[in-house]
Amino acid sequence: MQNFFVKSHGLGNDYIVLNQDEITFELTEKAIIRICDVHFGIGSDGILLKVPSEKADFGLRILNPDGSEAEKSGNGLRIFAKYLYDYGFALSKSFSIETPGGLVRAEVIEEKNNKAFTIKVDMGKAIFESKKIPVNCEKEECIGETLELEYRGYEINCVSVGNPHCVVLKDELDEKEIKTFGPQIETNPMFPNRINVQFAKVVSPNEVEVMIWERGAGWTLASGSSSCAVACTVVKRGLTERNLTIKMPGGNLAIEIDEDWEIRMTGEVREIGSGILSDELIEDLEL
């Protein structure tokens, strides 16, 4: 159906799913910004675009609400997996998805009323090498290094899970603080492709509380790739076990980090609604 969309959320991190084969317009930067705008568009933390893939069962592009493209999205992958399963594209409960940040495998592990509810995703391997994140840091790995901002510094831990992340370990979390300094870290010249930012508080050997400032999206209630990045950081720093519950304002994700830094993420997804983008919105997309 032309310009059909589905809007879903993973722990309050919401996405609009579109199928490249069904849209009648070009998904330009302006179009992405407008569709994601809560007043002039549908409103969303981003767009998931179903695209063909030569390497996997399905292909996915992830667009941030500022029009930029991301290499990976954990909540996005679970939302996309649910869409593939619920709308009949996936003929089994386990399938592969190609993202710009690598190939992943998704599995529907729990249904509710014959719809996907809990999804597990093998998110790939964590990368700590500075130049592969990328981070402009003379050290081989940017773990426990200091980043000086205009009015204060932070000790940072950088890791890629396909997309880049900067984890700051804190004794206490403060929404105002991450909303103030998150954007300054996100756009700091140390990060050639910008970076996702997390403030994380270790609560117990199996529990970490996290607040998120996303690259290209800002404050979000949850982030799957951020949860993976935080989990890798606290394990690498010897602060926790390898099986973790990551607690975010929007809800919790289960993250497992194996000995080879392979990451497994499990969590719920809920559909909000579906519909057709109106012709009037399509007309206005290039304004």
Ligand X SMILES: N[C@H](CCC[C@H](N)C(=O)O)C(=O)O
Residues near ligand X (CB under 6 A): 13, 45, 62, 64, 70, 73-76, 163, 196, 214-217, 220, 223-226
Distance of alpha carbon 3 from alpha carbon 31, whole angstroms = 13
Cβ-contact 271, 6 below 8 angstroms:
yes
Provide the 3-class DSSP secondary structure of residue 180.
helix
Q: Which is nearer to ligand X, 41 or 224 (CB)?
A: 224
Distance of alpha carbon 167 from alpha carbon 252, whole angstroms = 18
Helices assigned H by DSSP within 101-172: none
Q: How far is the CB of 73 from ligand X (least distance, A)?
A: 4
Q: Which is nearer to ligand X, 147 or 217 (CB)?
A: 217
Q: Is 13 annotated as a binding residue?
A: yes
Cβ-contact 102, 117 below 8 angstroms:
no
Q: Is 136 annotated as a binding residue?
A: no
Q: Is 214 annotated as a binding residue?
A: yes
Distance of alpha carbon 131 from alpha carbon 153, whole angstroms = 22
Q: Which is nearer to ligand X, 130 or 220 (CB)?
A: 220
Q: Which is nearer to ligand X, 3 or 68 (CB)?
A: 68
Q: How far is the CB of 19 from ligand X (least distance, A)?
A: 19
Q: What is the token pair recorded at 100? A: 């710009």
Binding residues, as ranges, are: 13, 64, 74-75, 163, 196, 214-215, 224-225
Binding residues for substrate, as ranges, are: 13, 64, 74-75, 163, 196, 214-215, 224-225
